[in-house]
């Protein structure tokens, strides 16, 4: 029993109409034949197995047909039968393999025989395959013949590397570039062949065959021929195709993608172990994972990608791909694909491919290690998904956006746009300094100034209304821990600084978060004096409001004394306190008159100020040590509970401004305002 020919030989096209995926070439050639405007030399270039040599034979058949030149050979004349599929060939159509006949001697022999007239055909046609293998001397020997051939002579050069054909030859030919066949076109063609061969092929096998062929028709037909040759009575099954072609089964791909979405490291490394134990190539597994991530990216961006032919996978998998893509965020999915793609580059020539594969998966599972913008967006996507999962279905319908702080910022911007800024009050002119008084009188007067009610002070200009941030859902506070508080501590300090700068200075340099239990946040301060100042100045209430704004929880603040506490260790602002932004100094305002003595010494009278065109700045208020003692004595003791007051009335706004503009360091301000004792660190001897 005679064995049949290979599929790519049995189904070699005989006309231009049978050539698939090359309409940009077959169409112009057909018009040239129809209009009798055929050139004397052609150059067909493109990847292997895409129809270059086959098209050259079809062109020779069209030229030598008795009814031609015609784009549709009759198939009945002697020339058409000789050049048909499985025909004996024609003596006037000479095929030369330049890989073995590309020297200068072969070119000279061809040049001598080319001038003889054809034996029985209209034209003598030379088909030079693998033309890039012709040497430079061989091309130079053919140059004159290709430039001015006799009327009966035609040249067709076929090559996969047209750049290696010397320019003097290319300039004398009509160049037609062939391309790889699109996957959908090639899959439909394979389905027709399988039906013609009466072979049963499982659903999902043809996409694997097309992928293995890489767009080359000859390579694809060779793969299909191998599968058909090794198939059983049941036909070509999916399992047989997976095992023979070495692809990863869809079940393993689904498992590893779902594990990536759930950050399930155990499942991911379990799949890797299955891949290695089954003898599969780790690099091929990584390529299959990247291919699946590509499909998920397409489905996430274009929901109807399957119906539009944008997926290389079967259409029935679109629903499953959509469900998998929904478990990722767009940034998280993009980052995973980039990590796998970069890992594939690193795996080239690797001596330990399994180790590279495991490290690659570890980078996908840990976006926190990625400090790029893509890694940041991936972490934001995961946080938003967790917030959406923590809320129930009913709460999700009525819940605010997944990022409440972003919504609050947008509302604040809208409020600023809608509300015009209030007019700034004109600064008062600088008054001449009063006559110096004795120290005792100055102490009494300072005490009287401190005891004046705050209502007599001019109220600060009204600020635009700020939107109240939407708190996290009720189920979220139970999920927050001490690590979350320490991670968001810099933002909490920023919120404290916006409310009260003195409280920010005290907390950022002397406080540290140590415990969180049953809704009580324990804050440790370095010494009893710092704790007393923290409680006396109501800084605990300011910190409580800042925590409520940032975390959306209503926790009680419990201050304790711990000599080991400090701003380092994650509890004090991430390794150091950050200075809040202070207003820029006015360049045109006159400087404050310098003082010659200390706090308790009288200052000399300032001279009468001369009128200046620029507006003067308001003088910075200063207090003597006696005034500070009077302020301390006026504060209620621990035995006498202090009535609730408005936090904005505890500290004069001018004092906050003075602290912000003071050139003194934070340590000096703490020692001066709160009487804190600064203990210097001594290096180890």
Helix (H, G, I), strand (E, B) or coil at 618: coil
Annotate 125-155 with b (16+ C-beta within 10 A) or e (fewer): bbbbbbbbbbeeebbebbbebbeebeebbbb
Q: Domain locations in the chain? A: 7-177, 185-369, 478-578+652-677
Query: Largest Cα–Cα distance of the chain, in whole Å?
Result: 134
Confirm if 329 and 382 have CB atoms less than 8 A apart: yes
pTM for the whole structure: 0.53
Supply the CATH classification number for the domain 7-177: 3.40.50.300
Q: Please state, in angstroms and rounded to a whole number, the distance separating the CA atoms of residues 43 and 39.
A: 11
The DSSP secondary-structure symbol of 132 reads: G
pLDDT value for 347: 87
Residue 116 near residue 147, CB atoms below 8 Å: no
Instruction: Report the pLDDT value the prediction gives residue 471, as an integer from 0 to 100.
Output: 41
What's the CA gap between 123 and 101, in Å, rounded? 22
Say what the pLDDT of residue 234 is.
Answer: 83
**Burial readout 569-596 (b: 16 or more C-beta within 10 A, e: otherwise):** ebbbbbeebeeeeeeeeeeeeeeeeeee
Do 325 and 319 meet the contact criterion of CB atoms below 8 Å apart? Answer: no
User: At 384, which helix (H) or strand (E)?
Assistant: helix 373-390
State the pLDDT at residue 650.
Answer: 47
- Residue 581 to residue 55: CA distance in whole angstroms: 74
Mean pLDDT for each consecutive 10-residue tract of the chain (685 residues)?
Answer: 80 92 93 92 93 93 89 89 87 90 89 89 92 92 91 94 92 94 90 90 88 91 91 85 86 90 89 89 91 90 81 72 83 88 87 90 77 63 59 45 46 46 46 44 40 44 46 47 82 88 84 86 86 86 89 88 61 44 44 40 46 44 44 44 47 50 58 60 51
**Order of all β-strands in the sheet with 556-561:** 511-517, 520-525, 556-561
Per DSSP, 578 falls in state -
Q: How far is Cα 541 from Cα 564, in angstroms, rounded to an integer?
A: 24
Closest CA to 490 of 513, 522, 471, 466: 513
Phi/psi of residue 156, nearest 5 degrees: -130, 110
CATH of region 478-578+652-677, choose from 3.30.300.180, 2.70.150.10, 1.10.10.10, 3.90.1150.10: 3.30.300.180
Q: Which of 126, 132, 125 is nearest to 98 (CA)?
A: 132
**Cβ-contact 404, 472 below 8 angstroms:** yes
User: Which pLDDT belongs to residue 249?
Assistant: 85
Cα–Cα dist 665/509, whole Å: 12
**How would you class 100 by CB atoms within 10 Å of its CB: exposed for 0-12, middle for 13-18, buried for 19 or more?**
exposed
The CATH code of domain 185-369 reads 1.20.272.10
How far apart are the C-alpha atoms of 198 and 213, rounded to whole Å? 21
Which residues have C-beta within 8 Å of that of residue 150, sequence separation ≥ 6? 114, 115
| pLDDT computed for residue 681 by the predictor | 54
């Amino acid at each position: 029993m005679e064995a049949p020919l290979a599929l790519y030989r049995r189904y070699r096209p005989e006309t231009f109409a049978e050539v698939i995926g090359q309409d940009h070439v077959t169409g112009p050639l057909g018009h040239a034949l129809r209009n009798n405007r055929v050139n004397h030399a052609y150059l067909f270039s493109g990847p292997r197995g895409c129809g270059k040599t086959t098209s050259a034979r079809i062109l020779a058949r069209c030229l030598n047909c008795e009814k031609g030149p015609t784009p549709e050979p009759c198939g009945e004349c002697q020339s058409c039968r000789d050049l048909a599929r499985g025909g004996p060939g024609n003596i006037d159509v000479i095929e030369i393999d330049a890989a073995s006949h590309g020297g200068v001697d072969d070119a000279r022999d061809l040049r001598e025989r080319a001038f003889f007239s054809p034996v029985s055909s209209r034209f003598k046609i030379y088909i030079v395959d693998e033309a890039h293998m012709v040497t430079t001397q061989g091309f130079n020997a053919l140059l004159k013949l290709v430039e001015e051939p006799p009327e009966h002579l035609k040249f067709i050069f076929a090559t996969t590397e047209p750049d290696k054909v010397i320019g003097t030859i290319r300039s004398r030919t009509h160049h037609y570039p062939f391309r790889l066949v699109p996957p959908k076109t090639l899959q439909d063609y394979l389905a027709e062949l399988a039906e013609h061969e009466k072979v049963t092929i499982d659903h999902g096998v043809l996409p694997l065959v097309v992928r293995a062929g890489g767009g080359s028709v000859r390579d694809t037909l060779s793969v299909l021929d191998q599968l058909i040759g090794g198939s059983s009575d049941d036909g070509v099954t999916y399992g047989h195709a997976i095992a023979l072609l070495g692809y990863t089964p869809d079940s393993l791909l689904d498992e590893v993608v779902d594990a990536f979405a759930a950050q399930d490291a155990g499942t991911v490394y379990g799949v890797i172990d299955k891949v290695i134990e089954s003898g599969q190539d780790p690099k091929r597994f990584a390529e299959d994972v990247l291919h699946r991530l590509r499909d998920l990216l397409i489905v996430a961006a274009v929901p109807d990608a399957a119906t539009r032919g944008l997926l290389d996978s079967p259409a029935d998998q679109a629903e499953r791909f959509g469900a998998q893509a929904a478990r990722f965020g767009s940034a998280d999915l993009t980052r995973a694909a980039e990590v796998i793609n970069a890992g594939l580059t690193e795996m080239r020539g690797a001596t330990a491919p399994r180790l590279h594969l495991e490290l690659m998966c570890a980078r996908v599972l840990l976006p926190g290690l990625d400090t790029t913008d893509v890694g940041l967006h991936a972490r934001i996507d995961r946080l938003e998904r967790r917030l959406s999962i923590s809320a129930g279905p009913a709460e999700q319908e009525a819940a605010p956006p997944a990022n409440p702080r972003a919504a609050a910022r947008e509302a604040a911007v809208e409020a600023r746009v809608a509300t015009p800024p209030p007019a700034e009050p004109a600064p008062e002119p600088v008054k001449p300094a009063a006559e110096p008084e004795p120290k005792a009188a100055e102490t009494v007067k300072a005490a009287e100034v401190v005891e004046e009610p705050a209502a007599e002070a001019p109220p600060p200009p009204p600020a635009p209304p700020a939107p109240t941030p939407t708190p996290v859902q009720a189920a979220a506070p139970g999920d927050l821990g001490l690590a979350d508080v320490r991670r968001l501590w810099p933002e909490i300090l920023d919120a404290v600084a916006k409310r009260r700068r003195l409280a920010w200075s005290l907390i950022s340099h002397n406080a540290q978060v140590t415990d969180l239990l049953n809704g009580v946040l324990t804050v440790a301060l370095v010494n009893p004096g710092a704790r007393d100042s923290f409680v006396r100045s109501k800084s605990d209430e300011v910190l409580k409001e800042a925590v409520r704004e940032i975390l959306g929880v209503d926790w009680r603040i419990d201050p304790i004394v711990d000599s080991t506490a400090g701003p380092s260790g994650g509890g004090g602002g991430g390794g150091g306190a950050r200075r809040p932004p202070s207003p820029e100094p006015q360049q045109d305002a006159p400087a404050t008159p310098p003082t010659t003595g200390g706090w308790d010494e009288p200052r000399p009278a300032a001279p009468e100020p001369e009128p200046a065109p620029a507006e003067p700045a308001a003088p910075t208020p200063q207090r003597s040590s006696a005034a500070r003692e009077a302020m301390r004595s006026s504060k209620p003791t621990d035995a006498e509970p202090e009535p609730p007051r408005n936090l904005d009335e505890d500290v004069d706004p001018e004092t906050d401004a003075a602290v912000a503009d003071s050139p003194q360091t934070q340590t000096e301000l703490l020692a001066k305002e709160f009487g804190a004792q600064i203990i210097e660190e001594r290096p180890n001897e």
